[in-house]
Amino acid sequence: MNRSLIIFLHGVGSRGADLAPIGGLWRQTLPSTDFAAPDAPFMFDQGGPGRQWFSVRGVTEANRPERVAQARAAFDATIAAIVAEHGLTDHPERIALIGFSQGAIMALDVLASGRWPIAAVVAFSGRLASPEPITPSLTTKTLLVHGSADPIMPVRESELAEIRLRDAGVAVARGVYPGLGHSISGEGAELASHMLAETLMETKAK
């Protein structure tokens, strides 16, 4: 059976190793799937050993889309290398991106730009910050997961992302967890694993 690939994308100031344990939890549900959790290409510019996909120093609603666009080249190089290692360069339909916070922004940007028609995107505590116009991949299944009490990335961001993506023709599901802050809950991770199992099994059957 052809194997699939899930790539985890960490938040700003974090590292890939912080999300990697989720892959271990998902192996039973996704036995034919490999997992990768790279570090972002840039050092976190506000101190510490963490990494970033783009700088949030001085970031605003107005300049964030440009920063996302400027981050694409380094992001794509990082992901393309992992995809090539797994022999899936010509099989985006067997790849899923799972992002948390800033990683979710980058995962949703892949979807919104349409540059990689991957199987699925799961965005935990994210926002759609891609520049207009968006030209999304309409074959990519999308799940937005958010805590209602997130103080860092308000849940409204997932609501707005859902509206914007649906208006563009994307199939979107959304899960909101009451009282959850800026984190990934067990319930949210389970919801995502079932969506991914269904989606990746669908692609293997084609």
Query: Looking at residue 172, what is its pLDDT?
Result: 97
Ordered domains of the chain (ranges, CATH): 4-205 (3.40.50.1820)
Strands, E assignment, the chain = 4-9, 33-36, 42-43, 51-52, 95-100, 120-124, 141-147, 172-177
What distances in angstroms separate CA 192 from CA 66, 98, 142, one per listed residue?
A: 29, 9, 10
How far, in Å, CA of 120 to CA of 113, rounded?
14
How far, in Å, CA of 13 to CA of 112, rounded?
24
Q: Which of 117, 95, 132 is nearest to 170 (CA)?
A: 117
Query: Looking at residue 2, what is its pLDDT?
Result: 85
How far, in Å, CA of 6 to CA of 29, rounded?
13
Peptide bond into 133 cis (omega under 30): yes
Q: How far is CA 29 from the centre of its chain?
A: 19
Query: Looking at residue 201, what is its pLDDT?
Result: 82
Give the pair of three-digit tokens for residue 39. 């570090």
The pTM of the full predicted model, rounded to 2 decimals, is 0.96
Query: Looking at residue 203, what is its pLDDT?
Result: 66
Per DSSP, the residues of 9-52 read: EPPTTB-GGGTHHHHHHHTTT-TTEEEE-PPPSEE-TTSSS-EE
Give the pair of three-digit tokens for residue 178. 């009451």
How far, in Å, CA of 67 to CA of 198, rounded?
34
Give the angle subtended at the CA of 172 by the CAs of 134 and 73, to the nearest 5°.
40
CB atoms within 10 A of CB 144: 26
Query: Looking at residue 120, what is its pLDDT?
Result: 98
Q: How far apart are the first and last CA of the chain?
A: 12
pLDDT tens-place values along the chain, 206 residues long: 589 999 999 999 999 999 999 999 999 999 999 999 999 999 999 989 999 999 999 999 999 999 999 999 999 999 999 999 999 999 999 999 999 999 999 999 999 999 999 999 999 999 999 999 999 999 999 999 999 999 999 999 999 999 999 999 999 999 999 999 999 999 999 999 999 999 998 666 55
